Amino acid sequence: MPVATVAAQRAARPPLRRLRLPVPLLLLLPALALFLVFFVLPLGVLLLNSFHDYSRLTGIVPIFTLKNYDRILWDAFHLEIVLRTLRLAFLTSGVTLIIGYPIALYLTAASARQRAWIILFILSPLLVSVIVRTFGWLIILGPNGLVHSVFSVLGLEAGVLLHSEGAVIAGLANVLLPFLVLAVATSLQAIDPAVPRAAASLGAGPWRVFRLVVFPLSLPGVIAGLLIVFSLASSSFVTPALLGGADYKVMSTMIYQQALILQNWPFAAAFAVVLVLVVFLILFVQTRLIEGGRYRVVFH
């Protein structure tokens, strides 16, 4: 074949296009790989093990069964543990909202110097280990602790404070309060100051401005903060184990007992899957609330 003909055929061929990945995708690849290896893959193994049976003689029995989920959802003892975990998470979220929202509201009106000191005070517990803080609550709520001594001086009966649900809620609220305060404060600072002033100029009082303008506009931060608190409270282990005592069982302590003490990995995996599904369900509801625009500023 003549050289000119070969050159003409090569020129007629379309040029090979090199595969070019978008720059954002290239930047996300390391994080995506870590997410798949250290989260999705272990979660898949956990889900697979939850459908296996368990024998004290042979360990995990690789047969498909719904026995573990049947025990969790239909056995009164295990169902009570699930409901107790949800109640604890909701109560902790409510307590942190009641305590944290006024603090976040004050941050928006405080001076720069005051705001710095308040934020330092709010974030200071995060610099201490959760175990140390929980042991601090053991000293405060113990039989001869600070609260008992104060009640004794006043001539009052303190009652049983330690190893109760109230003690667990107090410990979790202390640990998780900074997350809600920062989320709500960020949402409040994003509100245009002209909007509350416009409502006040139209005759609305301070309480009405807060109820109909400020609070609805801060709901994205409230929902985000409550989601963080709920997720961390429902999966907390150290605080319920130390402040709740041996008789106060939640899903995290149950997973620990089944996995590391009784070596029943399938049943512990089923409990873990149920816990993850509950958290994702709350996340889904929160996303739907935000996208659906369920919170609106209403003027009357």
Kindly list the structural domains of the chain, giving each domain's residue range(s) and its CATH number in brackets, ordered by start.
49-60+78-292 (1.10.3720.10)
For 202, phi then psi, to 5°, come to -85, 5
Mean pLDDT of 268-285: 87
Which pLDDT score is estimated for 159?
63
Distance CA 248, CA 168 (A): 9
pLDDT by residue (tens digit) across 21-79?
677 777 888 888 898 998 889 889 889 999 998 888 788 888 888 899 998 888 889 99
pLDDT above 60 (res 12): no
Do 255 and 236 form a contact (C-beta atoms < 8 A)?
Answer: no
pLDDT by residue (tens digit) across 134-189?
888 888 887 777 777 777 777 666 666 788 888 899 999 988 999 999 999 988 88
Structure tokens given for 221:
């931060």
Range scoring the smallest mean pLDDT among 3-17, 114-128, 212-226, 280-294: 3-17
Which pLDDT score is estimated for 300?
45
Name the nearest CA neighbour of 231 among 276, 269, 271: 276
Residues forming beta bridges with residue 2, ordered by sequence position: none
pLDDT above 60 (res 19): no
B/e letters for 191-211, b = 16+ CB within 10 Å, e = fewer, are: eeeeebeebeeeebeeeebbe
pTM tops 0.75, yes or no: yes
pLDDT above 80 (res 263): yes
